[in-house]
Structure 1
């Protein structure tokens, strides 16, 4: 057998490739059951109000709160042009969300609007052109023909608001979901979620609507589908000014979507939301008994069965509050989209509840306008529009600034106090969700030779329901001797042996044995794929499971740090190993698992670092980075307490 063949080794004992998925799904089910039980105990209006307060507070906490802006500074806005159409006009609007952050929007105004009336905020799904996509133009025109003022805004990363562009405005990190994930990953170590920026932009859009003389501030609704349905859901939970809502092709249940084996966009992942017992039923409950029409497609990849179950469950709260007729469900026989039938239904519903009724002879039609005619900016991208006040801030600028703020906040705390607080938080992150069990190692499944190196392997229980794997190497000259052990932690584990082979040979020749560790989901334990062939790719199975853990208030990095702790403890029980002489060798960015483990284990063996990840703060502040498998190095909230250089200094016994 050669090294390449070793990298392809497949474990034929226990279903090790399914274990990560299975434990995540089981823990998710426990959270869903707990949340459902809590909701079933709501039997009074006061308990509904109590739950609503909890939902809003918990959701805002999950996403890291809202970005700050100075409420004393008036919102700036510009109308850069007007497109007249039959019965209404489209104004091209740019308004400020935060200082230096500009939102592009199209405002649809009925020609016969003579005073303040109902208005709708339209939030876009993941079409690259956002508000200019033909489907969304159709929806907005159906709404404005229903007598409603409609404000359609571009979210970050779409339409005229790409955040990573070259000087010509061309994308450098993809558009839509690709850019969202690219910007979303650096939010996580800060204890934030990309959703906070989407939500704040939408809330500031309501501020803009309120400033318009055609709009009654008490009669503002919201709708959108897919990613726009997500944003609509966030507004329902967070903004009490919303008077009616029509969330489209998003409301389902976390439980029903779990088994679809699909990942979601970065702003759709709300850390600890499931751990707090919250689900999509709470999104609806948050606005009871306000008028809500859930829009759905029968053939959606978002499970329609989850939608029906959630709406049926939520109906109890409207019934309890004497307003059962105000919660509706409209399903079209269609795949995932905002169909004309759903658009007509939403227009009728929102017109009834915001304006009192539809106009007589409502027969909507849509005339798609060429996107450049609707551009709010001269060249179709905010970041290259020199006519707007400068300087302009990108999402990266805001996230990097947030990292600097957290660094300054950490540095302001006396270091002994900061160290104690940080290690207490880290211990909880690593240990809180684990259930240790006896190792019961299964040894000697391989027994191969590569030149002068004997190769063996083992699997063992890292925690209840979850096994780890290690491949053992020793020079054949020391075959029957008790040898000191070097435990190796690096990216790819036993599927990355060739890159480290000379190091393995050198270590073995020195009279030590080497165990290359496969932590959860790596090496021979890598999960089976979903629709994507590569489990480590964007939205591959490893990405999906990492996000599922984030919903549970957990992370891959924390779980794998626990795996290292357990592997160190196992070393003392392995045959032909001198448990008194163990060293841990950590190489590359995933070597951080060993650093995290060493920080919380008093008896951790000597640790050798090679090419370590320098700093998570530095990584967050790097505008262009390699996004592949980036979830694996992210410990959500970590930078609120410490960075990797802090752990290294504390491990060396140095305090500044």
Structure 2
């Protein structure tokens, strides 16, 4: 035993103060937000590169045009694919008369069986053709609702407005009971839950919202009473998000306004954390795309930013982003075509913002500067009067309606042949794509540094604590228990528990039998778990994911959480290969929760894992498509992975070395 202890200590390059053993801490420091700070350094580096590119571009008109073209190209690279545009099968299912306008209740199919409900506010001014705008809804559960004051205001001032129910709002809720009643607390929760499955098949809720909105514009273009050369788009809050994402992909829009969303992503993520699932497209940070970049894709067409000084949407970020827009529009020779209004209010499209919105649209769609705005009538309607369906929900009211879950399952089934072909490839080809999906350029090459942070002789075994350091990565804290009964052929058993190594080691009966058998035990915490777990109060409970902040920030930066943890696993395996007391011993793994998919990937990539037993974890990503009402999905999401393999495929590729214990 003494020789083993000497071997363990002999490897150590640095010896730090003894860690407190009562909580099994192994790091030489304690900082609860260390992992988030680590991730933010990557985000800051990405956006520093962007700042330099933008600064250089603003030196000339050609530079700005090239910058915008590159932003659009990077946007298209990450947004995913869209289907062919088929028949809309649009129809007007009813009308409601207002004061100076008429609401037409519209129903169309953006995809076969995907029904979209909308209200078209038509001015009663006798014009043969009206300029028109899309109004993209904020995050209210009832979407377009019984009526929109902004749309009424636009209509009585001569501009038609089509207000579109997004997926998961209004008459298009997806997570509902048999009677159409919502099963979640609100739209932002439903959006976030739905987005996880969409990410797995290579798209996002934001992309699907764009598709429906673009198809809504297709519908407007079919109407003889709409001037297709005079089209705008605006939205507030979640509708502001939809507007920003719309501008770079649909060039038919001639004027736009973004309200209560425009700020800088970098500042928002750092100050408040990632927002709702529908407000992110994976890899935006990796592609150096900021919120102002999505807005800039509109240039030099007229763009208005509407902000409240006391909005939770950060005003300083909005002001900095607007300064970037001003420089770019000026370089293009159109400084008058971008404007910003700040008002003494909070979140949303209030009266002062609405008045500015109408003046802006009248200026650029009707050619009327400083127009006098007619106030909106105070008409009141009920949902029963204005709903497009008799039951208030398309998925229970309309025969042939297809839910988003059914769409995703169809996509999964359509992709089965591709997955079957993929896993038939050679190991190196599969490994290359897997590393790409994990956000890893290659397997880690830099050496590890083993730092002992504690040692204690206990009854029947020696206990060591280490932090394993690899340049550019988070350190991996681990506790090693070496029993007196260890043999040359004793296994090294790695324990990876979602609750943290403290929960496992804190109960001696969890491992006493293994020590008696001579098994060397290692309990570790990978980044974001155990010692480096992100404090729970930084993640809103409405997202159903206890590590939502770090999972979404990681995906934003192009480094999926799972991929980072696979790197930690390989660091731990390097430790097993280098430590004299561990070298040559067969390695087996016991993992649960979020560690299970990590272990599956690590076992395929590294055959030093002799066997692994997994439990209490997702066994197929298909389950997220079938039932989005699950917790902690984002911890296990890889963007677009189901185009290539599912977890059962990976289990088979490990050729019996990995099994599920439950």
Whether the TM-score (by the shorter chain) exceeds 0.5 is yes
- Report if aligned partners of 1:80, 1:94 keep a CA contact under 8 Å in 2: yes
Match of 1:403 among 393, 409, 412: 412
1:376 to 2:388 alignment: yes
CA distance in 1, matches of 2:442, 2:293: 24
CA displacement, residues 104-143 of structure 1 (integer Å, 9 cap, x when unaligned): 1111111114211210100011111111177xx2222122
Classify 1:624/1:93 alpha carbon distance in 2 versus 1 (closer, same or farther; 3 Å): same
Classify 1:219/1:105 alpha carbon distance in 2 versus 1 (closer, same or farther; 3 Å): same
- Report if aligned partners of 2:435, 2:442 keep a CA contact under 8 Å in 1: no
2:351 maps to 340
1:257 maps to 268
User: How far 1:651 moved relative to its partner?
Assistant: 3.0
CA distance in 2, matches of 1:542, 1:614: 16
CA distance in 2, matches of 1:23, 1:499: 28
SS at match of 1:441: strand
CA displacement, residues 212-269 of structure 1 (integer Å, 9 cap, x when unaligned): 2221111110001111000001111110011100011111112221221322111211
CA distance in 2, matches of 1:648, 1:563: 20
Gaps of 5+ in 2: 1-19, 658-662
CA distance in 2, matches of 1:285, 1:434: 37
Match of 1:56 among 72, 76, 82: 72
1:109 maps to 122
SS at match of 1:346: helix
Match of 1:606 among 606, 610, 616: 610
1:515 to 2:525 alignment: no
1:20-419 correspondence runs (5 A): 20-42=35-57, 43-66=59-82, 68-69=83-84, 71=85, 73-132=86-145, 137-357=148-368, 362-385=374-397, 388=398, 390-412=399-421, 415-416=424-425, 419=427
CA displacement, residues 485-516 of structure 1 (integer Å, 9 cap, x when unaligned): 21122322325428997553332222102112
CA distance in 1, matches of 2:455, 2:153: 66
CA distance in 2, matches of 1:392, 1:538: 27
| Aligned residues between the structures | 635
TM superposition score normalised by structure 2? 0.89
CA distance in 2, matches of 1:616, 1:254: 32
CA displacement, residues 418-466 of structure 1 (integer Å, 9 cap, x when unaligned): x4432112234353389766544343547496x9776553322244251
- Report if aligned partners of 2:449, 2:470 keep a CA contact under 8 Å in 1: no
User: How far 1:31 moved relative to its partner?
Assistant: 0.6
Classify 1:422/1:478 alpha carbon distance in 2 versus 1 (closer, same or farther; 3 Å): same
Deviates more, 1:82-91 or 1:361-370: 361-370
Classify 1:29/1:160 alpha carbon distance in 2 versus 1 (closer, same or farther; 3 Å): same
1:524 maps to 531
1:472 maps to 480
- Report if aligned partners of 2:478, 2:524 keep a CA contact under 8 Å in 1: yes
- Report if aligned partners of 1:79, 1:91 keep a CA contact under 8 Å in 2: yes
- Report if aligned partners of 1:122, 1:222 keep a CA contact under 8 Å in 2: yes
Gaps of 5+ in 1: none
Classify 1:271/1:252 alpha carbon distance in 2 versus 1 (closer, same or farther; 3 Å): same
- Report if aligned partners of 1:88, 1:110 keep a CA contact under 8 Å in 2: yes
Classify 1:598/1:405 alpha carbon distance in 2 versus 1 (closer, same or farther; 3 Å): same
CA distance in 2, matches of 1:6, 1:398: 52
RMSD: 2.9
Match of 1:423 among 428, 431, 451: 431
1:631 maps to 634
1:494 to 2:501 alignment: yes
TM superposition score normalised by structure 1? 0.89
Classify 1:434/1:277 alpha carbon distance in 2 versus 1 (closer, same or farther; 3 Å): farther
